[in-house]
Amino acid sequence: MGGKVQGQNGVSSEAPIPLLTPYTLGKFQLSHRVVLAPLTRQRSWNNVPQPHAILYYSQRTTKGGLLIAEATGVSDTAQGYPQTPGIWTKEQVEAWKPIVDAVHAKGGIFFCQIWHVGRVSNTGFQPNGQAPISCTDKPLTPQSQSNGFNVAQFSTPRRLTTEEIPQVVNDFRLAARNAIEAGFDGIEIHGAHGYLLDQFMKDHVNDRTDKYGGSLENRCRFPLEVVEAIVDEIGADKVGIRLSPFADYAEAGDSNPEALGLYMVESLNKYRLVYCHMVEPRMKTVGEKYESPHSLLPMRKAFRGTFIVAGGYDREDGNNAVAENRADLVAYGRVFLANPDLPKRFALNASLNKYNRETFYIPDPVLGYTDYPFLEDTE
């Protein structure tokens, strides 16, 4: 794919490279389809974004490129990892502003992913050392963390009462409003990877007997209430969602993931979200690719909006997904981290830097963060 390189963004005059063709995402004009996936960065001291994030995000910005910021906590009970950013205080909102400004200065489109980790936490991350909240009081077993070195310990969660759930919905609504105040173009609701919304959706976790548990409709009620509240607050044209019905992260599996995925996208259609971002079935656990008989195609066909896929994509795989209409946009995580100029490298079919897993989650403001070389630095 592609041939001689010339013209803007290094796009060739011969057969266009599918990933590098323009796309209209709601009211946003994208110049290409290579999306920066949301990546947990753990470099925000005391949950406040830091100035070093300005360089990190601006390095990965292209004119008309879509970036999704790292998972950002909606409240003081949302945290489960050290030094992850939040967006529930005035100080945090102010700290995000120069980061967002830097992305906009280079013509990028920037969405903030907002999350609540639920039971993937312990009392050390919680206000006054209280128990983490979830749909259940079933604890998680200790897990080795995604860096492969540390073992995370989880505290037994406290099951939210039916009456408390609207308050958590409101936390998401306020976080979305704060993200828009910080200048973000929109928000992505984190409904994937075993965190709070996923805990409610998945029948391996949700053991409730109230209106938020049992049937598929009941298990999806809380996530859809979050969607509705945010759409009402900031407008559907600024709201996306990430889902991973097939994944088993943090012991959050489901007995019928395809039915769950289809129910969610069909329910989301009535809210007219700007996009649905889904994780490939082959990514059952963190960072590992598996052969899977499942496909996102039924959800792609059912969702009436922009469909973003993620999970183990390379250049060829991403090009095929777009060319075969299995996706509109493709999100790249680890490979975009290691290659800040990834769209340019894809245009030139250049070799890629290898990522270093050992520096993914260290708090260093440079190492494994802003020190990956650009193409011109390696030539």
3-state secondary structure the chain: CCCCCCCHHHCCCCCCCHHHCCEEECCEEECCCEEECCCCCCCCHHHCCCCHHHHHHHHCCCCCCEEECCCEECCCCCCCCCCCCECCCHHHHHHHHHHHHHHHHCCCEEEEEEECCCCCCCHHHCHHHCCCEECCCCCCCCEECCCCCCEECCCCCEECCHHHHHHHHHHHHHHHHHHHHCCCCEEEEEECCCCHHHHHHCCCCCCCCCCCCCCHHHHCHHHHHHHHHHHHHHCHHHEEEEECCCCCHHHCCCCCHHHHHHHHHHHHHCCCCCEEEEECCCCCECCECCCCCCCCHHHHHHCCCEEEEECCCCHHHHHHHHHCCCCCEEEECHHHHHCCCHHHHHHHCCCCCCCCHHHCCCCCCCCCCCCCCCHHHHC
Distances (CA, A) of 110 to 52, 66, 175: 17, 6, 15
Query: Considering 56, 81, 195, 361, which one is annotated as catalytic?
Result: 195
What tokens does 216 get? 């598929």
Quick check: is 271 catalytic? no
Question: Would you please indicate which residues are annotated as catalytic (active-site) residues?
Answer: 195
